[in-house]
Structure 1
Amino acid sequence: MGDFMRQRSKRQEDNGLGSVLDVLLANARLVLGVTGAAVLAIATLAVKRLIDRATSPRDEGDPKAEQKTLEESWQDLTLIKTAPKPTKKQRREDLSEPLLSPARPPAPEPQVCSAPPEPPQVESIPPRCLTLQEKLLSHYSSRLAVPEVEASLAPQLARSICTQLQRFLRSKCPELPFGNLFLSGALLDGLEALAADHIHLMLPVVLDTTLWSLIPGEDTVVRNPQYWMIKRTDLEYFPRGCSPWDRFIVGRYLSSNVLNETLHKLLVASINWPAIGSLMGSIIHPVVASQELKLEVKHDQVELSITLFPVVEMEGKVLLAAPPEGLVENLWLESFYRAEVSKVKELDAGDAGARQHCLRILNGICKSHPTLHKLCGSPLTHVILHLSATSSDWAEESLAERFQEVLEELVGYLEQGVLPSYFNHKIDLFCELLEEEIDEMGFMLYRAICEPELLLKEK
């Protein structure tokens, strides 16, 4: 501040208008910052010179003096035009710099004047920092949106395969009352991201409700409320053979494992996939080593994985033939996917919300992240549904705020080690995660709460 105060004291020795302008300059630096004050100082200096020349006596009749005054006036006005533009921000330590830099001695004139003058230095404008909202929208549009060709071609291929498989099952297993195959998955429901690389193919298993009943998950051997058993009833009055599905019974229960093994043999050994693939301009082959019923489809524009799920719908439950790994073979997994998608879309339709947009971004991030990929899908959907019960503002402009709030909610559930299902609080969606996986996910998301951009970086 020493240089600033000395300059201010020197200017205060002048009288009249000069004193007023000096006081203005002294305060301008505090308000406008160094560069802004410099602009005002140059402009003020030029104006003072014009006023001084207008009021000072000069030799009348001296054309040279009059011409010199006019030239100096234009030079002073040029100072105003070429003064540096103020930057948006000034640091506090800049206040210790002198208001106007001391004049530099004139550079010696060059001997050769043929070189063109250097262009004026233009101050580069620093790039504007994007808000989290802008970063999220940019990340979605640049990395997570499924290309239109893939988004249209993948379902088309899956439907053609669905039709061929339906014909085969009806001709090969006419005694089994399979329902009409249908497609499912996040791609079809608009919640997928990154690529159109996976679709579920649902195969309804139609049961006679007078011959079958459901056993709640709490009463099964695994004591897990998400896994149910389907029991054959009234064998005394309706012995084996009365139901076409009795051939898949193990210990009076419809075995998901036995049904899957039968379908796996059909997919691998009985269907002419090369011929079907040639009709579609694709290569189709079943995954032999997988316990899942999976087909791999290669097209010149898309590579697709199709997973077949036998599904039973009874008593308001949707049960998949997807038992847990291990020796237990009669369990059916309760699926909430249809209810999840329906509820999210219903909430968004009610308040024009951005839940689906937020879910697409989170699914895309977790799907490609080596630590967070097991959070993709149902866990994220259920967190958003839980959060919707307490956070009502899901407008598009609140996307960044809700995004961070979802991260905070996830960290809270990971700290507890439990994520209750939105539709059944007895079900823990983290039950199959290892403790080490929960710790790694929690640490990663805890860091991301303070710096969400960590999740948006290239993997």
Structure 2
Amino acid sequence: MYYSGKRRGEDGIAAVIDFLLSNARLVLGVSGAAVLGIATLAVKRLIERAGRPPDEKPDKMTDSWEELSLVSASPKLLHKSIEGVVMKRIDTATQKAELSQAIPLPSPEPQCCDADPPQRRKHMDLCVMTFVDRLQQYYRTRVCLSAEEVSVAQQRALDIATEIKAFLHYKHPDMPLGDMTLAGSLIDNLQVVKADHACLIVPLQLESSLWTPIAGEDTFLGHPKFCMVRRENLEYFPRGRSYWDRHLLAGYLSSRLVSEQLGKTVMESMNWPLLTGTLECEVRPVLGSPELKLEIKGLSQSSYESGERFYITVLPTVRLGEMTLMAQREITGSFDYVWYQSLYTSETARLAELDKADSGVRRKCLKTLKAVCCNCTSLRKLNASHLRNVILHMSENEADWTESVFADRFLQAITELIGYLETGILPSYFKPNLNLFQGLNEDDIDEMGYMLYSAITEPEILLI
């Protein structure tokens, strides 16, 4: 029971909590309602303790989260900080109530509705906005890039890519390379918040009869994300038969040696000051980075004055069969033989195919989630790969992706993410044995899980 001398306002809070519990099953389903029930039960107990006079407060909090953890549906990611947040809000509400009792407020004089100042009317309009309206407004104002911004960024990236391509052919005319192309979210209309990066794919042409990809599960690392490229038929076609034999290490094509050659050619040999004058923007290599990355300042006059940066990452790429392998040293680390298997093209193509078939909003939902994670410090460890795969998994079970359910699918993706974080496993859509959460530590998972769990009952906090 609550203490009989409860402060004014506690009945209202309790009524709100009971209302949430009674309607949770309709909104969140049975499992979601169970999780919400645990959290709200704890809140009610905390309010009860806060309402007791000092002489009746127990020396020890017996109604703790350790008690609630006995319930199977209790999420471990709430253990750390939800109690402190709730107590802080209770203290704030108490202080406001005391101030309102100490200082009598004058009765407002009746005013005609037409006499309201514009600021007040604007505030009233915002107050009546539904979550669907807020989400659509967030997408229009915080997610989407202007056509002009995208066009300028793409043109600059294309100009620089053309210069790199010409220089590589001039410097190494015998190097067998395919057509270099720009790639990434900027090209696929999936970039959000601001246009600030692109990739330049440098495809290496390997003879299919001399080179064989080895799946990551079959390598000494046993990791499905990493692959190796083995040189075949050395007894019949000795070293030197292929241009890329000069990058062999113990019979395997070395991603490190390939990156080093391109780095010396592109990063160290090109005349960047001359290119800066030609393109009318400052272009320079990023030194000390494991990636082959260029920094561009001044895509336009306004961006130059504001100091904004645009980055182009040069990615040596091998395509053998259905596998796309990239030399990404920031991922593969110190393993000289290892290549990173990229599933980006397959994932984005699948999303586009599904949306085209039913005029769906999967890509719109993905872009909104990306912007939310980019703008929220607690969620920045959730990258585009995580979010793409969550949407793809949802598409297996959800058939309705029309515009009318955009907000529903957004909230469902939040709930799905919480479930994956709770187990610590997010399987790749195209490689189920690959856990995309591998590499995240427990603190990262707890912080992201707590933020998303808080958003279940108050999703507007993600749109701040």
Fold equivalence (TM over 0.5): yes
Q: 1:314 aligns with which of 313, 320, 327?
A: 320
Give the superposition deviation at 1:337.
Answer: 1.0
**Secondary structure, aligned partner of 1:364:** helix
Greater Rg by CA: 1
**Secondary structure, aligned partner of 2:397:** coil
In 2: Cα distance, 1:280 partner to 1:260 partner? 26
In 2: Cα distance, 1:237 partner to 1:301 partner? 60
Match in the other structure for 1:54: none
Match in the other structure for 1:22: none
Contact 2:283-2:296 within 8 A present in 1 as well: yes
Contact 1:248-1:259 within 8 A present in 2 as well: yes
Contact 2:332-2:339 within 8 A present in 1 as well: no
In 2: Cα distance, 1:256 partner to 1:449 partner? 44
Counterpart residue type for residue 336 of structure 2: E
Match in the other structure for 2:250: 251
Give the superposition deviation at 1:120.
Answer: 7.2
In 2: Cα distance, 1:164 partner to 1:411 partner? 45
Match in the other structure for 2:259: 260
After the TM superposition, which parts of structure 1 deviate over 6 Å for at least 4 consecutive aligned residues? none
Q: Which runs of 5+ in 1 are unaligned?
A: 1-118
In 2: Cα distance, 1:351 partner to 1:327 partner? 44
In 2: Cα distance, 1:384 partner to 1:181 partner? 30
Q: 2:456 aligns with which of 433, 449, 458?
A: 449
In 2: Cα distance, 1:293 partner to 1:266 partner? 11
Contact 1:147-1:195 within 8 A present in 2 as well: no
Q: CA RMSD in A?
A: 1.6
Once the two structures are superposed, the pairs formed by residues 29-178 of structure 1 within 5 Å of their partners are 121-123=111-113, 126-127=124-125, 128-178=127-177
> Which deviates more from structure 2 when the two are superposed, residues 294-303 or residues 169-178?
294-303
**Secondary structure, aligned partner of 1:230:** strand
The answer to which structure, 1 or 2, has the higher relative contact order (CA under 8 A, 6+ apart) is 2
In 2: Cα distance, 1:214 partner to 1:270 partner? 31
- Answer yes or no: is 1:416 the counterpart of 2:423: yes
Structure-1-length-normalised TM-score: 0.72
Contact 2:215-2:228 within 8 A present in 1 as well: yes
Contact 1:185-1:200 within 8 A present in 2 as well: yes
Give per-residue Cα distances to partners, 1:223-261, cap 9 Å, x unaligned.
111110000011111111111001111111111111112
**Secondary structure, aligned partner of 2:229:** strand
Q: Which runs of 5+ in 2 are unaligned?
A: 1-108, 304-308
Once the two structures are superposed, the pairs formed by residues 11-26 of structure 1 within 5 Å of their partners are none
How many residues are aligned here? 339
> Which deviates more from structure 2 when the two are superposed, residues 365-374 or residues 167-176?
365-374
In structure 2, the CA distance between the partners of 1:120 and 1:438, relative to structure 1 (3 Å rule), is closer
In structure 2, the CA distance between the partners of 1:368 and 1:265, relative to structure 1 (3 Å rule), is farther
Q: 1:405 aligns with which of 406, 409, 412?
A: 412
More helix by share: 2
In 1: Cα distance, 2:357 partner to 2:110 partner? 58
Counterpart residue type for residue 344 of structure 1: L
In structure 2, the CA distance between the partners of 1:356 and 1:326, relative to structure 1 (3 Å rule), is closer
Match in the other structure for 1:440: 447
Give the superposition deviation at 1:444.
Answer: 1.1
Match in the other structure for 1:329: 336
Give per-residue Cα distances to partners, 1:201-233, cap 9 Å, x unaligned.
100011001000011101222211111000001
- Answer yes or no: is 1:429 the counterpart of 2:443: no
In 1: Cα distance, 2:225 partner to 2:248 partner? 21
In 2: Cα distance, 1:204 partner to 1:240 partner? 21
Give the superposition deviation at 1:367.
Answer: 1.8
Give per-residue Cα distances to partners, 1:245-286, cap 9 Å, x unaligned.
011111111111111122112223200111112111111000
Contact 1:150-1:301 within 8 A present in 2 as well: no
**Secondary structure, aligned partner of 1:399:** helix
Give per-residue Cα distances to partners, 1:277-304, cap 9 Å, x unaligned.
2111111000111110000011134431
